[in-house]
Amino acid sequence: MIRSMSGYGRKVAFQASFQLTVEMRSVNHRFCEVVVRLPKSWGMLEGHVKKIVSQYIQRGRVEVNVAIEHSGDAHSAEAAIDWNQAELYVQGAKQLVERFSLQDQLTAKDLLLMPGVLQQKEDATAPAEMLAELLEETVEAAVIDLLQMRQAEGQKLMRDLQQRLTQIGEWLKQIGELAEAAVEEYRHRLHQRLTDALQGFSFELDQQRLLQEIVLFAERSDISEETTRLESHCAQFGEQLTKTEAVGRKLDFLLQEMNREANTIGSKANYLPIQQLAVEIKTEIEKMREQVQNIE
């Protein structure tokens, strides 16, 4: 089952007085790249988060955003005064009063309103002991949610590619039928041209020489090998669509080979109906390549 490289996953979990939110977004990328954004105090867990995501994702750029919010439970946090910061404000106020002969005095209320003086002191044991395990579980749940969306998108891509592959197969059958008619068409045109050219002359048309020219044309315009290889590539492409592992690179390679064979068919055929079908095949292959660029 092929997967798209585009997707979104989100999970929210609660524990004690904390809410943990994990969001993931993925886009196409040649390799697997995981970018993690954690709260500053949780930076040491970045590698662990990447490891969890990499177990599920083989290709694509995945952005992981982790947010931790306090629920506001009065029992899990208490007011704390940063005495060093308060001391700095007091000393600064004294210097201002002395230097400019000010009358106003700094009050406790004023001091508490100064930035950085009054802080919420969170339970220091919560992040390390309570949330680490919850983070792992939530990240894993979010990446599974992401995978479900990638798989759903992958199914749509697979159906589209299978339809295009079927269309190419029908065009190849038409090319096989036209290839047989191409030689006969060339023989008829060559015979008619020579007959018209020899009118009024006593020369007779050399049937042996005419046959040689027809044989040479058949050899130069023989596309049986190219059509066989193209059919083989199409069959391999269809098989890859049913695989469970990441097949995006293989599909892209096969499309390059398919395009090469279609080019050769168009240039060798020297027969307009076949050349037109070769152009149709190349156009369809290009559309398939655009889709494959987003397959894991």
The CA-based dihedral angle spanning residues 214, 215, 217, 220, taken in that order and rounded to the nearest 10 degrees: 180
CA separation for the pair 134, 14 (Å, rounded): 8
* Domain ranges, residue 48: 7-73+124-152
Tell whether 144 and 161 lie within a shared domain. no
| Helix 248-269, helix 224-240: angle, nearest 10 | 160
Q: DSSP letters of 48-110?
A: HHHHHHHTT-SSEEEEEEEEEEE---TTTEEEEE-HHHHHHHHHHHHHHHHHHT------HHH
Question: What is the count of structural domains for the chain?
Answer: 3
Query: Are 89 and 191 part of one and the same domain?
Result: no
The average pLDDT across 68-72 equals 71
Does pTM surpass 0.85?
no
**Residue 224 is assigned to a structural domain of this protein:** yes
CB atoms within 10 A of CB 144: 12
Classify residue 7 as exposed, middle or buried by CB count within 10 Å of its CB (0-12, 13-18, 19+): buried
pLDDT digit string, tens, across residues 20-59: 999 999 999 989 999 999 988 788 889 999 999 999 999 9
Q: 201 in a domain, yes or no?
A: yes
Burial of 124 by CB count in 10 Å (0-12 exposed, 13-18 middle, 19+ buried)?
A: exposed
**Amino acid letter at 75?**
H
**Pair (182, 163) in one structural domain:** yes
pLDDT in tens, 192-251: 665 555 565 555 555 666 566 655 655 566 788 888 999 999 999 999 999 988 899 999
Do 169 and 68 sit in the same domain of this protein? no
Give, for 11, the enclosing helix (H) or strand (E): strand 7-15
Same domain, 240 and 169: yes
User: What's the confidence (pLDDT) of residue 296?
Assistant: 93
User: Do residues 254 and 179 both lie within one domain?
Assistant: yes
On whether both 32 and 146 belong to a single domain, the answer is: yes
Distance CA 59, CA 162 (A): 22
